[in-house]
């Protein structure tokens, strides 16, 4: 369970991060947007640094930015534990970016947008610790889940087996009880959810029901 703080109350972000941490989240999912790779602008390393002390959970920095390689050290220094870069983002050398993330002591993840074939990630699997499959076009919270991305999950798992590796798959966008269960049944390991968690009256209840729904086999 990785609540996306894009849907948090930015005027009291530290409190919201503390609340999800106490409510049973496993990660904090942080959406970084640059207004170039996606139309929206959100937050960067100073904001991550300011909330780092409010949670001991691993921080996932989901970088929806061009040239992520120029900012890796800043994100590592701000307290990110897992850094996700997009395969679609303009950058010097994607493989070098993934390796640099690891060299800096973080886990490296590759994110793939709905229109991008999952096969394009396969040459990079050995250089990754996590695969992020987007179930909306990135840029905004509160969008509808795109079920057509679901077959990417078993396809990626099969390719991982073929390559003799097993890395977790995170799914991001439009996750609620129903879509979370569908994604989990398809094999997703981590659910990123913004609106569903932060707009709930009972945040702990929302995280708990989402994780129970994902765990149930029927």
Active site residues: 31, 172
Could you tell me if 196 and 175 are in contact, meaning their C-beta atoms sit under 8 angstroms apart? yes
Among 130, 133, 191, 193, binds ligand DX5 (CB under 6 A): 193
Task: Report angle CA 155, 160, 162 to the nearest 5 degrees.
Answer: 95
Contact flag: residue 141 with ligand DX5 (CB under 6 A): yes
Could you tell me if 6 and 48 are in contact, meaning their C-beta atoms sit under 8 angstroms apart? no
Could you tell me if 195 and 7 are in contact, meaning their C-beta atoms sit under 8 angstroms apart? yes
The interface partner of residue 1, options being ligand DX5, Zn ion, none and the CB cut-off 5 to 8 Å by kind, is: none
Please give the structure tokens belonging to residue 62: 């989901």
Please give the structure tokens belonging to residue 193: 């959810």
Task: Annotate each residue in 39-78 with x if it binds ligand DX5 (CB under 6 A) or - if it does not, as one string.
Answer: -----------------------x----------------
The DSSP bridge partners found for residue 110 are 85, 131
Please give the structure tokens belonging to residue 68: 């992520």
The interface partner of residue 191, options being Zn ion, ligand DX5, none and the CB cut-off 5 to 8 Å by kind, is: none
- Which residues, in sequence order, are CB contacts of 170 under 8 Å at separation 6+? 2, 60, 109, 130, 131, 132, 133, 188, 189, 190, 191, 192
| Selected range binding Zn ion among 18-26, 159-167, 170-178, 207-215, rule: CB under 5 A | 170-178
Contact flag: residue 116 with ligand DX5 (CB under 6 A): no
Contact flag: residue 142 with ligand DX5 (CB under 6 A): yes
Could you tell me if 108 and 102 are in contact, meaning their C-beta atoms sit under 8 angstroms apart? yes
Q: Between residue 21 and residue 40, which ones bind ligand DX5 under the rule CB under 6 A?
A: 29, 31
- How far apart CA 50 and CA 8 sit, in angstroms, is 15
Minimum Å distance from CB 24 to Zn ion? Answer: 19
The interface partner of residue 180, options being Zn ion, ligand DX5, none and the CB cut-off 5 to 8 Å by kind, is: none
| Selected range binding ligand DX5 among 45-53, 132-140, 161-169, 201-209, rule: CB under 6 A | 132-140
Contact flag: residue 6 with ligand DX5 (CB under 6 A): yes
Residues that bind ligand DX5 (CB under 6 A): 4, 6-7, 29, 31, 62, 136, 138-143, 172-175, 192-196
């Amino acid at each position: 369970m990785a609540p996306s703080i894009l849907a948090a109350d930015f005027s009291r972000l530290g409190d919201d991060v503390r609340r999800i941490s106490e409510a049973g989240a496993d990660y904090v999912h942080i959406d970084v947007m640059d207004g170039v790779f996606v139309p929206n602008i959100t937050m960067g390393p100073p904001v991550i640094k300011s909330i780092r002390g409010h949670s001991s959970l691993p921080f996932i920095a989901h970088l929806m930015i061009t040239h992520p390689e120029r900012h890796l050290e800043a994100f590592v220094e701000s307290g990110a534990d897992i850094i996700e870069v997009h395969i679609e983002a303009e950058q010097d050398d994607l493989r070098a970016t993934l390796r640099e993330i690891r060299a800096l002591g973080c886990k490296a993840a590759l994110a793939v947008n709905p229109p991008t074939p999952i096969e394009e990630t396969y040459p990079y699997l050995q250089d990754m610790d996590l695969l992020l499959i987007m179930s909306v076009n990135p840029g905004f919270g509160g969008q509808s889940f795109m079920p057509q991305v679901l077959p990417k999950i078993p396809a990626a798992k099969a390719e991982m087996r073929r390559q003799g590796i097993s890395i977790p798959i995170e799914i991001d966008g439009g996750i609620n009880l129903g879509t979370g269960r569908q994604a989990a049944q398809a094999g997703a390991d981590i659910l990123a959810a913004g609106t569903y968690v932060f707009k709930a009256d009972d945040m702990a209840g929302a995280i708990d029901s989402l994780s129970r729904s994902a765990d149930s086999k029927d």
